[in-house]
Amino acid sequence: MKGSSVMLVLLGCLFVLGVAVHSADALYSPKDGVILATDATFNALVLQSNRPSIVEFFAPWCGHCKNLAPEYKKAAAATKGMVNIVAIDCDDASNRPLCGRYDVKGFPTLKLFTPGQKAPTDYQGPRTAKPIVDAVLAKLDAKNIKKLTAKSAEGFLADKELPKVLLFTSKPKSSHLYMALSMEFKGKLAFAEILDKETSLAEKYGVESFPTLLVVKNDEEQTVTKYEGELGYRQLDSFLATFAPKSAKASKGAKSEKAEAKAEPTPVPLEQKLYALESDADYTKYCVEQRRICAIGFVPSKEQDEEEHDKAVKALEALAAEREAGDAFLVMWVDGAKATGFRRTLDLAFDLPTFAVASPKKKGYAPFRGAFTPKAMGEFLDSIKHGVKRTHPLPDFPASLFDAQA
């Protein structure tokens, strides 16, 4: 009886420890909209981003960090992708050099990063959602937005280097939404605003209500496309991505990329369907040896939750069915419980299902942050396809998808 009591105490301690470890892992998940960065991905996600960022340097065991987490998630939900809401786990040994470089001495530490400026500023405001949102949105600017009149519009439209985005509006001040889009597509699209008092321009383009957003292509006909959807950041981001050049004309690597593309062999034709990754041999066949990029859904184990497993696979089947033949992406699924190490390397959270783009050949990846639906994942793939979102470099790309067997 005495031995049984000791065993119960030990089991109880292990249970508490297990809960604590799980809570640490689950402080943030992809569903929260908070970007979990690492020392390896920080440069691409924050320093090279066209969007302002606020970065929380935290430790999962820290009580103040746990108190901040719900407010930080609210901030991510409120900004809806217009800015980067980022978190760095400084308790992770691989991230400690990064935390040291930014002189992090306590948790949580919040810093604001502005595009083009390597030195951040400390956020000293209240640790609640609204002040955090206000602080990072204040880093948005309208430098890339031209204010057009009937007189100045002619010269602006005559320049055919880039497609033009025209917002007809009744508000003299640029919105956070429009500023965020202009910064995101910097060098790829030219943005302008036209006030409602410019009636001649409104009549020219058939604008009858405000706001109205148009895209004027940089072709000979200057084809005009009117946006008819919801005025939300993610919706507009996906719409504008279809007009943006794959890479800016001023890009230093444009010529070398073109030469590299010509030198690459033609990819092996594969049917556009959902592929199952059941072994590392499948991973090698479809991901390592192909020029196409793997769009991998990490789904719950069928043995653990058959309903959620089937639901996730069905969503991926619908996504695969929507992709065009010869598309750059091959959609596939894997049992996420068997690929925990791979998920961790790609900055994917503990929760399943989750989704990512991986290119072992080019040693790059991009974690998806959003709803696990065919529409949201499809928009994510399109944004990468059109060069709006970039894959993050990963020099030591994992050679194996599956965890080593114990």
pLDDT for the residue numbered 270: 67
pLDDT for the residue numbered 131: 97
pLDDT for the residue numbered 149: 95
pLDDT for the residue numbered 30: 65
Q: Three-state SS for 331?
A: strand
Give the Cβ contact number of residue 303 at 10 Å: 9
Lateral strand order in the sheet of 53-58: 35-37, 84-89, 53-58, 109-113, 121-122
Beta bridge partners of 358: 294, 365
pLDDT for the residue numbered 4: 46
**CATH 3.40.30.10, applies to 145-242:** yes
Which uninterrupted H or E stretch holds 257? helix 254-263
pLDDT for the residue numbered 171: 96
Q: Retrieve residue 58's tokens.
A: 């935290």
The one-character DSSP state at 141 is -
pLDDT for the residue numbered 7: 40
Statement: the pTM of the whole predicted model exceeds 0.85:
no
Query: Residues of the chain whose pLDDT is less than 70?
Result: 1-26, 30, 246-270, 291, 325-326, 349, 386-388, 405-406
Is residue 294 within 8 A of residue 357, CB to CB? The reply is yes
Indicate the class that CATH gives domain 275-393: alpha beta
pLDDT tens digits along 104-138: 999 999 999 999 887 999 999 999 999 999 999 99
In 33-108, where do the E strands start and end?
35-37, 53-58, 84-89
The Cα–Cα gap between 277 and 295 comes to: 11
pLDDT for the residue numbered 133: 98
Torsion sign (Cα): 50, 56, 57, 61: negative
Domain boundaries, the chain: 35-138, 145-242, 275-393
pLDDT for the residue numbered 250: 40
Q: How many CA atoms lie within 13 A of 62 on its CB side?
A: 17
pLDDT for the residue numbered 291: 65
pLDDT for the residue numbered 405: 57
The one-character DSSP state at 80 is T
Per CATH, 35-138 and 275-393 having the same topology is answered: yes
| The listed CATH number (3.40.309.10, 1.50.10.10, 3.40.50.12280, 3.40.30.10) that belongs to domain 35-138 | 3.40.30.10
